[in-house]
Copies of this chain bind each other. A is one copy, B any other.
Amino acid sequence: MEQGWAAEALESLHYIGKRELHEHGHVVLEKVMGDELDVVNNARVSFNGESLELTDRDKGLINFLMKNRHASPFEAIVFRLDVRAPLFVVREWERHRIASYNEESARYSVIKEDFYVPAPEYVREQHGKPGAYYFEPIKDSAVVSDTIYHIDRCQREAFRTYNYLLDQGVAKEVARTVLPVGMFSRFKVTMNLRSLLNFLSLRNHEHAQQEIRDYAVAVEELVTEQIPFIMECWNTHNRQPI
């Protein structure tokens, strides 16, 4: 699968785990600071204790912290991710403020012609009423293929205009005006576990738009490999923010 030059650049760097998704997208777990034992030892500062390995008693403590929303020890684990996603996904992600972001800039770099075109099962219609919307794949295959055609054509045309304007000498920051919300952008985000659980509670959720949910699922898989007990525990406690 073609993943673009950003992904190629990544190949040569060390990272912990990676998921590719939505044709041009990825989630890379670049670095982690801390582990489940760190959560325990941050909590044990309260009563001046330390553990050297994760015991069953420590697991009981993690469970207790989660249940009673003693949240600060969970901030001791920090993740850095490298993400490439459609702009409408990036926009929702960056609303999560307890995190540090660095994103590709359309002022300083020429945007590569990668844009989101939904797979047939992602061409959805909306049902329900305000406050209780749900989405289902459109069944009429003619509508589906027509939709895909137009979403592809319109964005392709936008990039053509964008590149034309650049060729005319128009500044990148002006030419980008025509670029579509479906274009891919890339960012790095540093986020602690508490903030990440809040992200997952809202974005890996049936109310979230499917596209960002796919990203949240990828993040949750990568994170769960690092801290399986905490994530199991969080699921037991209904995936609530802490």
CA distance A86 to B168 in the complex (A): 23
A52 within 8 A of B: yes
Most buried by B among A6, A124, A177: A177
Residues of B within 8 Å of A155, CB to CB, are: 177-178
Q: Find out whether the CB atom of A150 lies under 8 angstroms from the CB atom of B178.
A: yes
Which listed residue, B48, B115, B192, touches A100 by the CB 8 Å rule?
A: B192
Which listed residue, B47, B76, B109, touches A190 by the CB 8 Å rule?
A: B76
CA distance A47 to B110 in the complex (A): 8
A58 within 8 A of B: no
A151 within 8 A of B: yes
Contact with B along A113-149 (1 / 0, CB 8 A): 0011110001111100011010100100001001100
Most buried by B among A181, A188, A201: A181
Each complex incorporates copies of this chain amounting to 4
How many chain A residues touch B (CB < 8 A): the figure is 104
Q: How far is the CB of A99 from chain B (nearest CB, A)?
A: 8
Q: Find out whether the CB atom of B146 lies under 8 angstroms from the CB atom of A168.
A: yes
CA distance A171 to B124 in the complex (A): 6
Which listed residue, B33, B158, B171, touches A180 by the CB 8 Å rule?
A: B158
Q: Find out whether the CB atom of B88 lies under 8 angstroms from the CB atom of A177.
A: yes
Residues of B within 8 Å of A133, CB to CB, are: 108
A sample of 17 more A-B contacts (CB under 8 A), given A13-B52, A45-B104, A68-B207, is A9-B48, A31-B33, A31-B38, A33-B33, A33-B190, A42-B102, A47-B109, A75-B100, A97-B98, A123-B174, A124-B173, A151-B174, A154-B158, A154-B178, A177-B180, A178-B180, A178-B182
25 contacts between A and B (CB under 8 A): A9-B49, A13-B41, A31-B38, A46-B108, A46-B109, A47-B130, A48-B112, A78-B78, A86-B177, A88-B173, A124-B170, A124-B173, A124-B174, A125-B171, A135-B171, A135-B173, A147-B168, A150-B165, A151-B165, A157-B157, A158-B178, A173-B209, A177-B182, A179-B181, A190-B192
